[in-house]
C-alpha cells in the first residue's frame, strides 16, 4: 500500500515529544505518571486502558493529556448509568495515529450525577455533553449551554437512565408550538433579523432547523437545532440481541446507501468484544461492498451539493442518481436489497457473491470501466464550472485547528488538509493489503470538500477493482464467508470496547458494554455527522447566507445519523 | 363519439374535415394519436365532476418532503430510471401551498412505527397525526412500490374518493383540567392552569 508520509501540521506537538509514546504503541504507565495523583484507578477496556479520574479534575487531566501527551482528538463521550453510579467516558485519540487511544472514565454518584465539562479543552464536547445530559441525565459543570439537544425541551425524564418509563405520557403546551415569527418581531432600533431555516427546507438535507440571525445579508449568529429525526437508535440496539437483531439498525443511521459501511462499524466493535476472527475471504467481500456503498454515498453528496449551490436539479442531480442506480443494482445483486442491505453478519457476510459469479464480476467491472468517464463528467459539470467555483472557492473556510478541536473527520477533515483516514491509520478489513491513496486537499473550503469526495470515488473504484481480482481467483474450496460464531453471543460481563471505522462521512464509532447477557448493556453511537455539523457556525459566521447554505451542503450531513 | 374517417373503398384519398380545417402545410402538432382515435370533430361527453377528478389525478404536484431513509428511495422514484413524472406526478414543489400530495417518507416510520415501534420517541404511524389515503408498505418501499401507490392514489382521486378521517382526536385540554398525577404535579409550577396542553399517551398508540 502506498502511504504518503503525513506532514506534521503546525501547532501539533511532534511525536517524539509526546509523553507515553514508544516505538510499539502507548506506554500507559508513563501516561499514568503524567496524570499522577489525580488517577484513581486503571481499567482495561478492549481497545485501550481507561483512567478513572475525579469528576472535579476532568479539565485539568484532559488539558495535560492533550498538551503533554498529544491526544488531540476527543472522538466520543459516552454516558451511562450503572446500578450504583453514573459514568462519563471520554474516548481520546490522536489525529496522527488513531491506534493510540485512551479512555478517561469519570464516575459520579447516583444522587447527584455531575462532572466538569470538557468543553474548554475540546470544543466538540459541547454537543456530546449536551447529548449525555439529554439522554442519560448527567450534568456538566462549566458547560456553556447545557440544554437538551435531541429531545424537545418539554420532554420529561432521561430516556437512557434506569428509572425512565417509556410508557409515561408527555405533556406539551400549545404555547410551545407558537410561531416565533408570527407577530411583527422587528424591534425599532435593531438592525438584525431572525430567520428560521428549516426544519422543512429543501437545502437542509432532511429535517434540520437552523436558527439564524442576519445582519443584512450576513450571518451574525447561527445555531443548528437538531433532534427532529431522533429515533432512539441506541435504545433499539440495547434491546436487540448481538447476533442478529442489531445489524438491521446501522443501515438506518447513514441511510444514503452507506449501509454496509455502518454495519461494519457495529460488526467491528462486536467482533472485537466477542473475540471473533473474520475469514479473509469475507474480509475482501466486505471491503468491496463497503466501497461500493461509499461511491453511492459520495455521488449523492455531489448531486445534492449541486442542487444546493447551483440549483441544478435537471442535469447533475440526475447524473448522480444515474450513477447510484447502477451501484444499487450491483449491490442488489449481492445483498438482495436496494438500500437497507443487512448484509454483514458477525464473523463474516450473509452469503457469497451471487452465481454466476462471472456475471456479477463483469457487471461490476463494466461499471468501474465507465466510472472515470463519468467522474470526468462531474468535473465538467461541477468543479470546472465557473459559477460553482465562484460560490465555493474560499467560502466556508474551516481551518485545521478548528476542525480538530470540533472532532471533524472524513471528507470534512481531509478537505482541511488533515491526513486522517481510519482505513489506513487503524486498518481493518482488507484495506492494508491493497494499493490506494488517502485523498486530502488543503483549501479548507467548500470546494476542497467537494473535490475530496470526487477524488475518493476514484480511489474506491481502485479498491473495488483489486477486490474483484482477488475474489475472481479465489480457490473455490476456501471461500469461507462466515466464521464459526455461537448461536447466542454472551460476551463476558463488564467488557467495554470502543471501535471506529471510516464510514462515508467520517469516523463512525461504536461503544459497547456487555453485562453477561445476550444484549448490550450500553450501546453508544459516535456519529461523524454529529461532530461535523458542529463546525457549521465556524464556517458560516460573518459569511453571506448563501455561503452558509453551500457550507451546509459541503458538510454532507445525514440527519438520520446526526440525530440517531 | 367518433365518425369513421378512412380512405374511401375505391382507394382515392378523401380529405377529412379535420385536414380541411387545418389547411395545407400546418404541422401535425395537434394530431395526436388520441385525437385521431376520436375522429374528425372530436368531443367528449362526461360529467364535469368526473372530468375534474380525472384532471386532478393526472396532474399531481408532490411536496418535496424528504424526512428520512424512505425519502432516498422517493428521490430515486422521481429521478431517472423510475421517472415518476411519466405518471403525471413527478414535480416536487418546495412549499405545501403549491402541492397536492404529501408523501410522508419515514421517521414517523410511517405506516406503523416500522423498526422503531418500541422506541420512546417515534410516533407510530403518520395516521396518528394526519389522514392518509394510501399506505405503501416497505422499509423502505421500492420505487416500483411507490409508483404503484401513486397510481392507486390517482385511481382513488379519479373515483372521487378521499381519505376517511381516522385521526386520533388529540384534544387540547386546559392544564388545570388534567388528572393530578405525578407528572402534572411536577409541571405545575411551569404551566399555568388555563394553558392549553396536549397529552400524548405512548402506551395507548397502536
Ligand atoms: S420505514 Fe424504514 S426506511 Fe422508511 S424511514 Fe422508517 S426506518 Fe427508514
Q: What pLDDT, in 10s, does the model give residues A445-465?
A: 899 999 999 999 999 999 999
Decide if pLDDT at B107 tops 50.
yes
Q: Kindly list the residues from chain B whose CB atom is less than 8 angstroms away from the CB atom of residue A322.
A: 79-81
Is B36 inside a domain boundary? no
Res. B21 pLDDT band, cuts 50 70 90: low
Is B37 inside a domain boundary? no
Res. B155 pLDDT band, cuts 50 70 90: confident
Give the gap in angstroms from C-alpha B141 to the nearest C-alpha of chain A.
Answer: 10
pLDDT at A364: 92
pLDDT digit string, tens, across residues A304-349: 888 888 877 778 888 888 889 999 999 999 998 888 888 998 888 9
Res. A18 pLDDT band, cuts 50 70 90: confident
> End-to-end CA distance of chain B, in Å?
52
Is B30 inside a domain boundary? no
Give the gap in angstroms from C-alpha A326 to the nearest C-alpha of chain B.
Answer: 10
Decide if pLDDT at B7 tops 60.
no
Distance from Cα A497 to the centre of ligand 1, integer Å: 29
Question: Comparing A49-63, A132-146, B5-19, B136-150, which segment has the lowest mean pLDDT?
Answer: B5-19
Give the gap in angstroms from C-alpha A95 to the nearest C-alpha of chain B.
Answer: 31
Average pLDDT over residues A126-138: 90
**What percent of chain B stands above pLDDT 70?**
72
CATH number, position B86 = 3.40.50.12280
Ligand 1 atom with minimal separation from the B106 CA: 5
Q: Looking at the complex, does the CB of residue B94 fall below 8 Å from at least one CB of chain A? A: yes
Average pLDDT over residues A110-125: 88
pLDDT at B121: 76
- Cα(A26)–Cα(A160) distance, rounded to whole angstroms? 33
Q: What is the overall mean pLDDT for chain A?
A: 85
Res. A10 pLDDT band, cuts 50 70 90: very low
**Count of structural domains within chain B:** 1
A153, A157, A165, A170, best to mutate vs chain B, most B CBs in 10 Å: A170
Q: Looking at the complex, does the CB of residue B121 fall below 8 Å from at least one CB of chain A? A: yes
- Cα(A505)–Cα(A528) distance, rounded to whole angstroms? 6
Average pLDDT over residues A391-407: 89
Distance from Cα B146 to the centre of ligand 1, integer Å: 13
Distance from Cα A319 to the centre of ligand 1, integer Å: 25
pLDDT digit string, tens, across residues A502-526: 998 999 999 999 988 888 989 999 9
Query: Residue B164 CA to chain centroid, in angstroms?
Result: 14
Q: Which residues of A291-309 are buried (b: 16+ CB within 10 A; e: fewer)?
A: bbbbbbbbbbbbbbbbbbb
Which cell is B151 given?
397510481
Decide if pLDDT at A13 tops 60.
no
Question: Comparing A320-329, A396-405, A431-440, B88-97, which segment has the lowest mean pLDDT?
Answer: B88-97
* Domain ranges, residue B110: 50-158
Q: Does ligand 1 have an atom closer than 6 angstroms to the CB of B70?
A: yes
A169, A207, A262, best to mutate vs chain B, most B CBs in 10 Å: A169
A402 to each of A148, A152, A419, A532, B136, how far by Cα in Å? 24, 29, 15, 11, 45
Of the ranges A18-27, B47-56, B104-113, the best mean pLDDT one:
B47-56
> pTM for the full model?
0.83
pLDDT at B114: 64
Residue with cell 472515470: A372
**What percent of chain B stands above pLDDT 90?**
0
Residue A445: CB atoms within 10 Å: 24
- Cα(A202)–Cα(B93) distance, rounded to whole angstroms? 10
Q: Are A378 and A316 in contact (CB under 8 A)?
A: yes
Nearest CA in chain A to B82: A325
Q: Whose CA is closest to A62, among A38, A43, A42?
A: A38
Res. A367 pLDDT band, cuts 50 70 90: very high
Q: For residue A36, give the 3-state DSSP assignment.
A: helix
Decide if pLDDT at A295 tops 80.
yes
B35 to each of A322, A357, B17, B52, how far by Cα in Å? 35, 51, 13, 20
Q: Could you report the predicted ipTM of this complex, rounded to two decimals?
A: 0.80
Q: Kindly list the residues from chain A whose CB atom is less than 8 angstroms away from the CB atom of residue B146.
A: none
pLDDT at B96: 82
- Cα(A180)–Cα(A194) distance, rounded to whole angstroms? 9
Beta strands at A102-109 and A49-53: parallel, antiparallel or unpaired: parallel
Distance from Cα B116 to the centre of ligand 1, integer Å: 9
Q: What is the overall mean pLDDT for chain B?
A: 75
**What percent of chain A stands above pLDDT 90?**
21
DSSP H or E run through A328: helix A316-335
What are the helix (H) ranges across A158-279?
A: 233-238, 259-274
pLDDT at B202: 63
Residue with cell 438506518: A252
pLDDT at B23: 64
Q: Does ligand 1 have an atom closer than 6 angstroms to the CB of B122?
A: no
Question: Comparing A379-388, A489-498, B31-40, B42-51, which segment has the lowest mean pLDDT?
Answer: B31-40
Q: Whose CA is closest to A270, among A239, A236, A252, A247?
A: A247
Res. B3 pLDDT band, cuts 50 70 90: very low
pLDDT at A459: 92
Q: Which residues of A478-508 are buried (b: 16+ CB within 10 A; e: fewer)?
A: eeebbeebeeebebeeebbbbbbbbbbbbbb
Decide if pLDDT at B151 tops 50.
yes
pLDDT at A182: 60
Q: Does ligand 1 have an atom closer than 6 angstroms to the CB of B137?
A: no
A409 to each of A132, A396, A415, A421, B196, how far by Cα in Å? 21, 16, 10, 8, 45
Is B33 inside a domain boundary? no
Average pLDDT over residues A206-219: 85
Give the gap in angstroms from C-alpha B43 to the nearest C-alpha of chain A.
Answer: 37
Question: pLDDT: is B204 or A472 the higher one?
Answer: A472
Omega within 30 of 0 (cis) for the link into A453: no
- Cα(A121)–Cα(A57) distance, rounded to whole angstroms? 12
Handedness of CA B146, B152, B158, B161 (dihedral sign): negative
Question: pLDDT: is B43 or A384 the higher one?
Answer: A384
Backbone angles phi, psi at B197, to 5 degrees: -130, 160
- Cα(A317)–Cα(B79) distance, rounded to whole angstroms? 8
Order of strands across the sheet that contains A102-109: A39-44, A49-53, A102-109, A85-93, A73-81
Rounded to 5°, the CA angle B31-B32-B37 comes to 95
- Cα(B171)–Cα(B149) distance, rounded to whole angstroms? 31
Q: For residue A349, give the 3-state DSSP assignment.
A: strand
**B65, B68, B123, B142: residue to mutate for ligand 1 pocket, most atoms within 8 A of CB:** B68
Contact A236 B116 (CB under 8 A): yes
Is B14 inside a domain boundary? no
- Cα(A532)–Cα(B206) distance, rounded to whole angstroms? 37
Ligand 1 atom with minimal separation from the B107 CA: 5
The DSSP secondary structure of A165-194, one letter per residue, reads -TTS-EEEEGGGG--TTSS----TT---EE
**B67, B107, B112, B135: residue to mutate for ligand 1 pocket, most atoms within 8 A of CB:** B107
Q: For residue A236, give the 3-state DSSP assignment.
A: helix
Q: For residue A228, give the 3-state DSSP assignment.
A: coil
pLDDT at A12: 46
- Give contacts of A 250-279 with B, CB under 8 A: 251-252, 255-257
Domains of chain A plus CATH, in order, are 13-141 (3.30.460.80), 233-563 (1.10.645.10)
pLDDT at A233: 86
Going by CA atoms, what residue is nearest to atom 6 of ligand 1? B109
Q: Does ligand 1 have an atom closer than 6 angstroms to the CB of B62?
A: no
Question: Comparing B3-17, B21-35, B87-101, B118-132, which segment has the lowest mean pLDDT?
Answer: B3-17
Q: Does ligand 1 have an atom closer than 6 angstroms to the CB of B92?
A: no
Beta strands at B173-174 and B196-200: parallel, antiparallel or unpaired: antiparallel
Q: Looking at the complex, does the CB of residue A152 fall below 8 Å from at least one CB of chain B? A: no
pLDDT at B22: 62
pLDDT at B1: 41
Is B70 inside a domain boundary? yes
pLDDT digit string, tens, across residues B76-86: 888 888 888 88
Rg (alpha carbons) of chain A, rounded to whole number? 23
Contact A172 B198 (CB under 8 A): yes
Closest by Cβ to A169, choosing from B76, B109, B202: B202
pLDDT digit string, tens, across residues A162-194: 887 777 777 777 777 776 666 655 666 667 788
Decide if pLDDT at B206 tops 60.
no
Average pLDDT over residues A425-435: 88
Amino acid at each position: 500500500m502506498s502511504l504518503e508520509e503525513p506532514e506534521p501540521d503546525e501547532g501539533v506537538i511532534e511525536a517524539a515529544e509526546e509523553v507515553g509514546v514508544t516505538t510499539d504503541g502507548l506506554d500507559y504507565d508513563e501516561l499514568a505518571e503524567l496524570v499522577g495523583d489525580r488517577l484513581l484507578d486503571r481499567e482495561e477496556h478492549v481497545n485501550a486502558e481507561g483512567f478513572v479520574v475525579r469528576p472535579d479534575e476532568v479539565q485539568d487531566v484532559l488539558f495535560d493529556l492533550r498538551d503533554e501527551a498529544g491526544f488531540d482528538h476527543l472522538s466520543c463521550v459516552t454516558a451511562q448509568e450503572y446500578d450504583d453510579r453514573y459514568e462519563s467516558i471520554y474516548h481520546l485519540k490522536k489525529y496522527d495515529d488513531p491506534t493510540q487511544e485512551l479512555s478517561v472514565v469519570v464516575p459520579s454518584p447516583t444522587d447527584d450525577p455531575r462532572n466538569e465539562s470538557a468543553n474548554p479543552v475540546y470544543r466538540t464536547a459541547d454537543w456530546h455533553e449536551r447529548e449525555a445530559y439529554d439522554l442519560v441525565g448527567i450534568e456538566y459543570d462549566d458547560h456553556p449551554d447545557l440544554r437538551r439537544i435531541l429531545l424537545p425541551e418539554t420532554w420529561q425524564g432521561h430516556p437512557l437512565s434506569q428509572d425512565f418509563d417509556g410508557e409515561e405520557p408527555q405533556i406539551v403546551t400549545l404555547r410551545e408550538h407558537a410561531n416565533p415569527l408570527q407577530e411583527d418581531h422587528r424591534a425599532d432600533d435593531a438592525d438584525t433579523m431572525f430567520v428560521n431555516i428549516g426544519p422543512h427546507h429543501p437545502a437542509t438535507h432532511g429535517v434540520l432547523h437552523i436558527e439564524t440571525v442576519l445582519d443584512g445579508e450576513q450571518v451574525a449568529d447561527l445555531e443548528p437545532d437538531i433532534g427532529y429525526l431522533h429515533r432512539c437508535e441506541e435504545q433499539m440496539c440495547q434491546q436487540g440481541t448481538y447476533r442478529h437483531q442489531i445489524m438491521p439498525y446501522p443501515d438506518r443511521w447513514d441511510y444514503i446507501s452507506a449501509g454496509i459501511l455502518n454495519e461494519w462499524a457495529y460488526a467491528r466493535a462486536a467482533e472485537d468484544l466477542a473475540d471473533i476472527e473474520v475469514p479473509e475471504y469475507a474480509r475482501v467481500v466486505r471491503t468491496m461492498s463497503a466501497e461500493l456503498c461509499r461511491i453511492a454515498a459520495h455521488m449523492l453528496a455531489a448531486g445534492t451539493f449541486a442542487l444546493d449551490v447551483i440549483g441544478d436539479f435537471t442535469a447533475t442531480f440526475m447524473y448522480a442518481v444515474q450513477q447510484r442506480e447502477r451501484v444499487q443494482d450491483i449491490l442488489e445483486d449481492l445483498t438482495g436489497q436496494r438500500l437497507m442491505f443487512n448484509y454483514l453478519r458477525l464473523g463474516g457476510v450473509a452469503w457469497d457473491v451471487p452465481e454466476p459469479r462471472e456475471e456479477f464480476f463483469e457487471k461490476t467491472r463494466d461499471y468501474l470501466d465507465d466510472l472515470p468517464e463519468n467522474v470526468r463528467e462531474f468535473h465538467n459539470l461541477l468543479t470546472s464550472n465557473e459559477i460553482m467555483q465562484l460560490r465555493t472557492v474560499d467560502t466556508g473556510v474551516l481551518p485545521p485547528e478548528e476542525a480538530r478541536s470540533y472532532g471533524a473527520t472524513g471528507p470534512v477533515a481531509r478537505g482541511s488538509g488533515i491526513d486522517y483516514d481510519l482505513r489506513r491509520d487503524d486498518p481493518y478489513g482488507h484495506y492494508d493489503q491493497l494499493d490506494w491513496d488517502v485523498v486530502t486537499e488543503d483549501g479548507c473550503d467548500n470546494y476542497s470538500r467537494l473535490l475530496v469526495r470526487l477524488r475518493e470515488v476514484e480511489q474506491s473504484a481502485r479498491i473495488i477493482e483489486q477486490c474483484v481480482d482477488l475474489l475472481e481467483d479465489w480457490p473455490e474450496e476456501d471461500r469461507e464467508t462466515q466464521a464459526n460464531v455461537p448461536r447466542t453471543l454472551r460476551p463476558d460481563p463488564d467488557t467495554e470496547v470502543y471501535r471506529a471505522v471510516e464510514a462515508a462521512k467520517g469516523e463512525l464509532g461504536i461503544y459497547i458494554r456487555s453485562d453477561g447477557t445476550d444484549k448490550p448493556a450500553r450501546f453508544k453511537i459516535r456519529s461523524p455527522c454529529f461532530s461535523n455539523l458542529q463546525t457549521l457556525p465556524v464556517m458560516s459566521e460573518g459569511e453571506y447566507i448563501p455561503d452558509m447554505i453551500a457550507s451546509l451542503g459541503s458538510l454532507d450531513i445525514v440527519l438520520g445519523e446526526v440525530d440517531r | 363519439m367518433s365518425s369513421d374517417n378512412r380512405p374511401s373503398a375505391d382507394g382515392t384519398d378523401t380529405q377529412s374535415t379535420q385536414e380541411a380545417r387545418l389547411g395545407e402545410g400546418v404541422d401535425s402538432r395537434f394530431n395526436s394519436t388520441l385525437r385521431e382515435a376520436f375522429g374528425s370533430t372530436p368531443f367528449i361527453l362526461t360529467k364535469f365532476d368526473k372530468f375534474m377528478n380525472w384532471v386532478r389525478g393526472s396532474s399531481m404536484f408532490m411536496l418535496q418532503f424528504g424526512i428520512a431513509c424512505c425519502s432516498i428511495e422517493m428521490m430515486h422514484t422521481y429521478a431517472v430510471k423510475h421517472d415518476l413524472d411519466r405518471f403525471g406526478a413527478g414535480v416536487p414543489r418546495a412549499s405545501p401551498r403549491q402541492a397536492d400530495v404529501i408523501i410522508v417518507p419515514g421517521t414517523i416510520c410511517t405506516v406503523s412505527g416500522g423498526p422503531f415501534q418500541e422506541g420512546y420517541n417515534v410516533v407510530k404511524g403518520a395516521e396518528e397525526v394526519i389522514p392518509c389515503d394510501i399506505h405503501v408498505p416497505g422499509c423502505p418501499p421500492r420505487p416500483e412500490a411507490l409508483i404503484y401507490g401513486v397510481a392507486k392514489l390517482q385511481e382513488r382521486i379519479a373515483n372521487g374518493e378521499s381519505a376517511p378521517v381516522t385521526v386520533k382526536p388529540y384534544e387540547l385540554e386546559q392544564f388545570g383540567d388534567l388528572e393530578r398525577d405525578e407528572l402534572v404535579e411536577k409541571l405545575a409550577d411551569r404551566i399555568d392552569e388555563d394553558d392549553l396542553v396536549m397529552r400524548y399517551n405512548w402506551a395507548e398508540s397502536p
